[in-house]
C-alpha cells in the first residue's frame, strides 16, 4: 500500500510545490540550452516541434510523473516498486528509477560545469570586464575562459558545493525563499532584455528565425534534439518531478499545476530566444555557435547598454540561481533513495553523491579544451567533445526512454481506477484524452524515434519495402 506521506517531508502549500517545480524546470535548459539548440538546429522548425512535444508529450508525461510520485510517496525507485506491486505487477519497474538516477548523475555532472560558467561571468561582469567590448572581444574572453580547465574546475566545484549544501539541509527549507524571489525577478529581467532586443535593427529577423519554420531543415537529428530538449527543460524522465510530486498534498490539482509549470517554463525559454537572436543577427554572430551562445550574446548586449555592468551581474546572478534550483532537483531522487534503502543520513547521502557527480564533471571540464573530436550523430557530423556525448546519452536517449516507460506504466500497468483517482479528473473528457496520450501517443512516438536512432527503423522499412517489391 502506498504511504500517506513521504518520510522526507511535505510541501507546505500548493503554491510552494509550483514554485519548486518551476524552479526545477526553469534553468540552464531554458536560457542556455534552448537558444543554442534552436540556433544549431535551424530555428523555426525546431522551435515548433519543441513546442509540439511540450504540449502533446511533455504535459501528459508531467502529469503522469507527479501522479506516480504522489501515489508512491518515496524515492522514484521505491515508488515504482510499490506502485508496480500495488497494481499486481512485478517489482522490476523499479529499474526505471535506477535508470533515472544514472541519467540524473550524468546530467548534473555537466550541468554543474555550465552553471559554473555563469558564476564566473557573474564575477567578471561585476568587475566591468564586458563594458564596451566588441564582438571579437567577447568571443576572445569566452574562448580564453573555456580553454582554462583549472578555472572551469574551480567554478564547477563552487556550484557543486552550493547544490550539495541545499540538498543536505533538505530541499524545502532553502527553496521556498529562493524561488519566490527568483522566478519573478528572472521574468522581469528577461522582459528588460527583450525590450533591448526590440530596439536592435534585427528584431524582426530574430523573430522570423525563431518562429518561421523552414521544414526543409527538419532532419532526424532535429527531431530527436527537440524531443530531448522538451523533456530536459521540463525536468522529466528521471524522477526529479516524481520526487517533488511525492511531497505534494493529496488535495492539489495535478493538471492545473502541470499547466502552470509547463507554461512558465516555456515562456522563459521563448523570452530568452527572443532576447538573444536579434542580438546575434545584429552583430553578425553565428547562430550555430553552440554552448557559448548565451554567454557571448548577452555580454555583448550588456556591454553596450546603459548600466550594463549592473544588468549583467544581475543576469548572471539570476541564471546561477535558476541553475541552482534545478540542480537540487536532479540530486534529490538519488539522495532520497540512499536515505530510504541504505540508511544514510541525508547529509551523508548528499555529500557522497555530490562528490561522485563532481568527479564525473571533470570529464566535461576537459571536453571544452583538451578533449575535442569529431563524429556523426543521427546523420549530423560535427565537432564534439565528451560533453556532447554525455548530453546525447542522458538527454536524448535516457530521458526519452524514461518518459516512454513512465507513459507505459501510467497508461497500461496502473489501473484506470488508480490513475483516475490520483489525477482527480472524474470521468471527464480530459481524463480520457490524457489516458489516450500516455497509452498510445507518448510510447509510440518515442519508440519510433529511438528505433530510428539505433538505425533499426531504417532497416525495417527497407525490409518491408523489399517484401512488397517485385
Ligand atoms: N529542467 C532543468 C533546466 O531546464 C534541468 C533539470 C532539472 C533537469 N531537473 C532535471 C533535466 C531532471 C532533466 C531531468 O535547466
Query: What tens digit of pLDDT does each residue of 98-126 get?
Result: 999 999 999 999 999 999 999 999 999 99
pLDDT of 77 strictly over 80: yes
Residue to mutate, 20, 266, 330, 402, ligand 1, most ligand atoms under 8 Å from C-beta: 330
pLDDT at 175: 65
Nearest CA to ligand 1 atom 6: 235
Our answer on whether the CB atom of 329 is closer than 6 Å to any ligand 1 atom is yes
Nearest CA to ligand 1 atom 2: 25
Our answer on whether the CB atom of 407 is closer than 6 Å to any ligand 1 atom is no
Calculate the average pLDDT of the chain. 91
Over residues 429-456, mean pLDDT = 92
- CA 330/CA 246 separation, integer angstroms: 15
Measured at the alpha carbon of residue 156, what is the angle toward residues 154 and 157, in degrees to the nearest 5?
65
Per-residue pLDDT band at 1 (split at 50, 70, 90) = very low
pLDDT at 382: 67
Are the CB atoms for 156 and 365 separated by under 8 Å? yes
Query: The pTM is what?
Result: 0.93
Q: Which atom from ligand 1 is nearest to the alpha carbon of 237?
A: 14
pLDDT at 460: 76
> With pLDDT > 70 as the criterion, what percentage of the chain qualifies?
96
pLDDT of 439 strictly over 50: yes
Query: Could you tell me the distance, in angstroms and rounded to a whole number, from the CA of residue 29 to the centre of ligand 1?
Result: 7
Our answer on whether the CB atom of 31 is closer than 6 Å to any ligand 1 atom is no
Q: Which atom from ligand 1 is nearest to the alpha carbon of 326?
A: 7
3-state secondary structure the chain: CCCCCCCCCCCCCHHHHHHHHHHHHCCHHHHHHHHHHHHHCCCHHHHHHHHHHHHHHHHHHHHHHHHHHHHHCCCHHHHHHHHHHHCCCCHHHHHHHHHHHHHHHHHHHHHHHHHHHHHHHHHHHHCCCCCCCCHHHHHHHHHHHHCCHHHHHHHHHHHHHHHHHHHHHCHHHHHHHHHHHHHHHHHHHHHHHHHHHHCCCCHHHHHHHHHCCCHHHCCHHHHHHHHHHHHHHCCCCCCHHHHHHHCCCCCCCHHHHHHHHHHHHHHHHHHHHHHHHHHHHHCCCCCCCHHHHHHHHHHHHHHHCCCHHHHHHHHHHHHHHHHHHHHHHHHHHHHHHHHHHHCCCHHHHHHHHHHHHHHHHHHHHHHCCCCEEEEEECCEEEEEEHHHHHHHHHHHHHHHHHHHHHHHHHHHHCCHHHHHHHHCCCCCHHHHHHHHHHHHHHHHHHHHHHHHHCCHHHHHHHHHHHHHCC
Our answer on whether the CB atom of 266 is closer than 6 Å to any ligand 1 atom is no
Over residues 433-450, mean pLDDT = 95
- CA 138/CA 147 separation, integer angstroms: 14
Over residues 232-249, mean pLDDT = 95
Q: Which atom from ligand 1 is nearest to the alpha carbon of 24?
A: 7
Residue to mutate, 234, 235, 242, 268, ligand 1, most ligand atoms under 8 Å from C-beta: 235
Our answer on whether the CB atom of 163 is closer than 6 Å to any ligand 1 atom is no
pLDDT at 3: 54
Per-residue pLDDT band at 381 (split at 50, 70, 90) = low
Are the CB atoms for 106 and 282 separated by under 8 Å? no
pLDDT of 470 strictly over 80: no
Query: Could you tell me the distance, in angstroms and rounded to a whole number, from the CA of residue 231 to the centre of ligand 1?
Result: 8
Q: Which atom from ligand 1 is nearest to the alpha carbon of 327?
A: 7
Segment 307-361, tens digit of pLDDT? 899 989 999 998 999 999 999 999 999 999 999 999 999 999 999 999 999 999 9
Segment 392-419, tens digit of pLDDT? 999 999 999 999 999 999 999 999 999 9
Q: Which atom from ligand 1 is nearest to the alpha carbon of 265?
A: 4
Our answer on whether the CB atom of 325 is closer than 6 Å to any ligand 1 atom is no
- CA 387/CA 4 separation, integer angstroms: 41
pLDDT of 453 strictly over 90: no
Our answer on whether the CB atom of 25 is closer than 6 Å to any ligand 1 atom is yes
pLDDT at 171: 66
Q: Which atom from ligand 1 is nearest to the alpha carbon of 395?
A: 13
pLDDT at 180: 75
Over residues 262-281, mean pLDDT = 96
Query: Could you tell me the distance, in angstroms and rounded to a whole number, from the CA of residue 334 to the centre of ligand 1?
Result: 14
Our answer on whether the CB atom of 330 is closer than 6 Å to any ligand 1 atom is yes
Query: Could you tell me the distance, in angstroms and rounded to a whole number, from the CA of residue 306 to the centre of ligand 1?
Result: 33
Our answer on whether the CB atom of 276 is closer than 6 Å to any ligand 1 atom is no
Query: Could you tell me the distance, in angstroms and rounded to a whole number, from the CA of residue 470 to the centre of ligand 1?
Result: 50
Amino acid at each position: 500500500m502506498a504511504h500517506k506521506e513521504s518520510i522526507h517531508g511535505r510541501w507546505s502549500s500548493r503554491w510552494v510545490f509550483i514554485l519548486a517545480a518551476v524552479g526545477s524546470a526553469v534553468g540552464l535548459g531554458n536560457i542556455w540550452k534552448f537558444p543554442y539548440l534552436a540556433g544549431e538546429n535551424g530555428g523555426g522548425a525546431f522551435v515548433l516541434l519543441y513546442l509540439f512535444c511540450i504540449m502533446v508529450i511533455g504535459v501528459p508525461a508531467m502529469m503522469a510523473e507527479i501522479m506516480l510520485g504522489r501515489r508512491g510517496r518515496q524515492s522514484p525507485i521505491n515508488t515504482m516498486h510499490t506502485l508496480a506491486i500495488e497494481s499486481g505487477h512485478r517489482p522490476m519497474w523499479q529499474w526505471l528509477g535506477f535508470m533515472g538516477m544514472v541519467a540524473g548523475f550524468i546530467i548534473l555532472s555537466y550541468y554543474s560545469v555550465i552553471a559554473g560558467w555563469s558564476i564566473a561571468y557573474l564575477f567578471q561582469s561585476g568587475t566591468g570586464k564586458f563594458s564596451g567590448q566588441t564582438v571579437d572581444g567577447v568571443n576572445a574572453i569566452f574562448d580564453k575562459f573555456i580553454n582554462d580547465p583549472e578555472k572551469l574546475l574551480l567554478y564547477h566545484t563552487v556550484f557543486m558545493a552550493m547544490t550539495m549544501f541545499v540538498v543536505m539541509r533538505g530541499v524545502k527549507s532553502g527553496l521556498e525563499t529562493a524561488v519566490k524571489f527568483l522566478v519573478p525577478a528572472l521574468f522581469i529581467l528577461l522582459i528588460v532584455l527583450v525590450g533591448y532586443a526590440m530596439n536592435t535593427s534585427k528584431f524582426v529577423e530574430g523573430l522570423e528565425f525563431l518562429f518561421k519554420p523552414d521544414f526543409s531543415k527538419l532532419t532526424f537529428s532535429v527531431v530527436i534534439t527537440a524531443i530531448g530538449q522538451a523533456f530536459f527543460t521540463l525536468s522529466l524522465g528521471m524522477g526529479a518531478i516524481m520526487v517533488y510530486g511525492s511531497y505534494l498534498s493529496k488535495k492539489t490539482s495535478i493538471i492545473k499545476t502541470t499547466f502552470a509549470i509547463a507554461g512558465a517554463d516555456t515562456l522563459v525559454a521563448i523570452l530568452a530566444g527572443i532576447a538573444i537572436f536579434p542580438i546575434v543577427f545584429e552583430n553578425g554572430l553565428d547562430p550555430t555557435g553552440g554552448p557559448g551562445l548565451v554567454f557571448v550574446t548577452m555580454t555583448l548586449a550588456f556591454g553596450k547598454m546603459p548600466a550594463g555592468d549592473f544588468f549583467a551581474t544581475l543576469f548572471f546572478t539570476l541564471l546561477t540561481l535558476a541553475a541552482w534550483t534545478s540542480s537540487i532537483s536532479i540530486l534529490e531522487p538519488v539522495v532520497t533513495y540512499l536515505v530510504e534503502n541504505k540508511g544514510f543520513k541525508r547529509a551523508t547521502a548528499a555529500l557522497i553523491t555530490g562528490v561522485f557527480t563532481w568527479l564525473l564533471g571533470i570529464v566535461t571540464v576537459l571536453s571544452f579544451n583538451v578533449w575535442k573530436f569529431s563524429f556523426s550523430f543521427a546523420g549530423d557530423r560535427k565537432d564534439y567533445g565528451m560533453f556532447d556525448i554525455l548530453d546525447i546519452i542522458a538527454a536524448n536517449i535516457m530521458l526519452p526512454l524514461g518518459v516512454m516507460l513512465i507513459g507505459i506504466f501510467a497508461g497500461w500497468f496502473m489501473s484506470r481506477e488508480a490513475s483516475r483517482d490520483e489525477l482527480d479528473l472524474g470521468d471527464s473528457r480530459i481524463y480520457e484524452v490524457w489516458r489516450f496520450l500516455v497509452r498510445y501517443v507518448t510510447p509510440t512516438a518515442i519508440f519510433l524515434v529511438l528505433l530510428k536512432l539505433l538505425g533499426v527503423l531504417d532497416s525495417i522499412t527497407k525490409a518491408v519495402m523489399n517484401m512488397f517489391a517485385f
